[in-house]
Structures are given as structure tokens and as C-alpha cells.
Chain A
């Protein structure tokens, strides 16, 4: 292990330029991937914000008994899909309308009788905010005797569904493309490092080194380069995030686990890229 570590470190000392180049290449490849990741998590946040607004409103018949409504509210909250159910009385509805519909304030003032029905506003838990679940909840709400009508903006929820599907598909395809490009670029860089030492590898074999012995320092070295590249990529992404926040818009950055995953991904690519390059080289000579 000591020897493996020493040999891996020697490469950095012997070919500092190539090592810096490898780390930089890995860093920029992962940086591009990281930027895309930032776009994805911010889009997800935005979608999440929109999703929060998905709700099912059950309008109640006039004169629905208070006790029955209170009991129903409890039942509705016990639905597995439901996050919260709020009762909005006729008066609350009117007060809200007055506050929100400023243009119609005068009309509202002149009303003799409150035309607005009481309602129950049902918010759904994350994961249940798609058309199928929303429609199912709406159907169940219709089953209550004192419910007059149920609305949830079917078109809007369906659009949201499509948008969510599209975002996921684009995310996977573009993300995979970026990841593949990163892997190819990083693999090529590592291949250069292996080729640069091909003479040394040949000599190692002549003096009786096993393939495992030859391979180990390269694997370690690849993993270290990937790790460093990943850390630099996180640094660059953070700088980009700060710039975007200052000059363009408020956005979110990776949480600790996501950042660690990117660094780990760098180390993994470095390791796998090295294993493939060295393996191929050893097989050929």
C-alpha cells in the first residue's frame, strides 16, 4: 500500500503539467455537469413551488351543518393523499374576495347578501399532486352529502403533469449526455497519463511486476485526480452560483449530500477511467 501510494504520488511529481491538465479537464467536465445539475435542482424547486398550489376545493351546499362539516374535515385529513384540509366559511370567502379582487371592491361593498359558498380547501402531500391522485380525491369529496361541487383545475394539473414529465426526460437525457462526455474526456486524459508511462510499464513487466502491482498506483492516482477535479468543480459551481445570485436571480445551490455525490462521482470516473485505460494497455502489450 505504501509503495502504491508512493508510486501514485511520484506521478504528480514527475509529470506535474499533465497531472494539472488531468485535474483541470476533470474539473471542467464535472463543472459543466454541475451547472446542469444546478439548473435541474432550481427547476425542480420552481416546479415544487407551483405544485404547492395544487389544491382541491369542495364547495359546500348552503346551510351545511357545522358539526358534520367538522367531522368531515377530520375524515378528509385522514386521507393518505391529503396534507391539510381547511374550512373556509362564507364570511371568510367574502373577506378574501374583497381583499384580493380590489377592482370589484365597490361591487362587493354593495352586496346585500353574500353570494359566496363556504368551502373546504384540500392540499395534497408531495407525490400525490398529479392528475390521477387529484381526480381520485375530488371524486371522494363529491361523495359527502353536503358538498355541492368540487373544482381542481384539471387542465392546469394535467399541464403540470406534462411539464414534470418533460423536465424529468430532458434532465435524464441531457444529464446522461453530459455525463458520457465527461467520462470520455476524463478517460482520454487518463489514457494520456498511461501512455506517457508506457515505457515504464514495459520495464516493470520485464522485472517481474504483476499486472495488479502495475495497476494499483494508476487506480489510486486516477481516483485522486477525480476527487480533486470534483472538488474544483464544486468550487467553480459555487462561484457561478454566487455570480448568478448577485446579477441574475435568486437560486439554490447543492446541499451537502449532492456536493459530496459530485465529488464522489469524479473519484469514481477517475478510478473507472484508469482501470479501463490501464487494463486495455496491459492487455495490448
Chain B
């Protein structure tokens, strides 16, 4: 599903953002990506949705080779992913419903099916009643739910969430996190970048930790080693 093999990423002015990072996220898995600010979490995310290309190493996502892919294939890859950001990135002058519908419209979905699909995901995130509200009329937690609904509406195989709870209070954080867990339970892989360790401790999910661009801890690898070491 997502496979990083010996990935290095250097930015012209920013030095080395990723150093020899390798990991594999399987279908239906939930993985936390943790680390301090600047550890390289967002760079990993950007490589996954092909906003950046690796300097060296191999990045494969949903059958696409990010190094080799043609620019015109990038939109096709992104339609297989759902992406959620800390700052929601909603279009301010469109209602919740229009924001979600927009993600379908750009893929050329049949217009007769759009309204029903939008309503289904808005119901799934618990915002059916606020379909006509504009982002400014919604709380932070609600805006993030709209963003999640938008990410879900194309039925992605992977949901990428880059600090999705970073701007939310504790209650909204819990709600959004629960929503991501439900989404994962229904079969969608989730990669969630966060530095909220409380959240990480709450759930028995895989943790991949980055430090200054290097992968320093991967719970999946450690567990496998522990199991192998057990008598």
C-alpha cells in the first residue's frame, strides 16, 4: 500500500529532511507518524501524496512509483488518497456540502450521484444537519469533520491525516480521533502524523517515530523482534 525504501529527501535550502527512511504500511492498517516539529513528518506525507519526490530511494503508493510517475498521473494517485490537514483547507465561500461535492466534481463523477454520495459521508462524520453551513459558521472540530468527509467521499484506500487535531480542543480532538478509528475499522488504512503523545498512547496502533529526518522507532519492527526473541 505505502512502501518507503531507503528514502532520502534533501531540500535545496533546508538540508536533509529525510535520512534513509524505510517502512511499509499495509492495507487497512492504522499508523501514527510521530516526532517533534521539523522531524520530517510532513515531508513523509508530501512524498506519499506526490507533492515532493524523493532525492533517492523508493516511494511506492497504491501501485504508483512516486519517483517515476508522470505529472499527469499525480491527480489519479491523489484520488485514491484522502488527505486531511491541521488547517482544514476548506473553501471558505462554499458550504460544507459544496466543499465535499467539489472533491467529487473534480474527478468527473456523474452529477446525478454526487448529492447522495455527499450526504452519505456527511452523515458518516455526523454533520448531515450542517450541510448548508459555511466553514466560518462551524467550530474547528466540525470543520475538520467536513475535511474528513471530503477526504472520504472518493472512497480512498488510504487516509492521510497531517496533525488533524493540532488546532482542536480536547473534546473535538477525541471526536475526530474516534472518527478516524471508525474509518479505519471499516477497512481504510490511516496514516496520522501527530505529536500528541496522549493520543498515541490511547490506542494500540503502530507508531513510527522520526527524529531529525531519521526513523528511530517503529513499533511493528520492535514487536516482530520481540516475538522472534521470545522463547
Interface string of A198-216 (1 = CB under 8 A from B): 0110111111111101000
Does A284 touch B at the CB level, under 8 Å? no
Interface SS of chain B: helix, strand, loop or mixed?
Answer: helix
Q: How far is the CA of A209 from the CA of B91 in the complex (A)?
A: 15
Check A206–B72 contact: CB distance below 8 A: no
Q: How far is the CB of B153 from chain A (nearest CB, A)?
A: 9
Which of B75, B105, B154 interacts with A210 by CB under 8 Å?
B75
Q: Give the bracket for the number of chain B residues in contact with chain A.
A: 20 to 34
Q: Chain A interface secondary structure, helix, strand, loop or mixed?
A: helix
In the complex with contacts A3-B105, A208-B75, A208-B79, A14-B49 CB distance below 8 A: no
Q: Nearest-CB distance from A205 to chain B (Å)?
A: 7
User: CA–CA, A4 to B105, complex, Å?
Assistant: 11
The chain B residue with its CB closest to the CB of A209 is B106
B94-131 interface code vs A (CB 8 A; 1 in, 0 out): 00000000110111000100000000000000000000
Q: Are A208 and B107 in contact (CB under 8 A)?
A: yes
Apart from the given pairs A203-B91, A207-B78, A207-B154, 10 other A-B contacts in the complex at a CB distance below 8 Å: A2-B111, A204-B102, A205-B78, A206-B78, A207-B79, A207-B83, A207-B102, A208-B75, A208-B103, A209-B75
Bound CA–CA A168/B29 (angstroms): 74
Does B89 lie at the interface of the complex (its beta carbon under 8 Å from any beta carbon of A)? yes
Q: How far is the CB of B114 from chain A (nearest CB, A)?
A: 11
**Closest Cβ–Cβ distance, residue B193 to chain A (whole Å):** 15
B76 at interface, CB cutoff 8 A: yes
Evaluate contact between A208 and B154: CB separation under 8 angstroms: yes
* Bound Cα distance from A205 to B103, whole angstroms: 10
Let me know if A205 and B75 touch, CB within 8 A.
yes
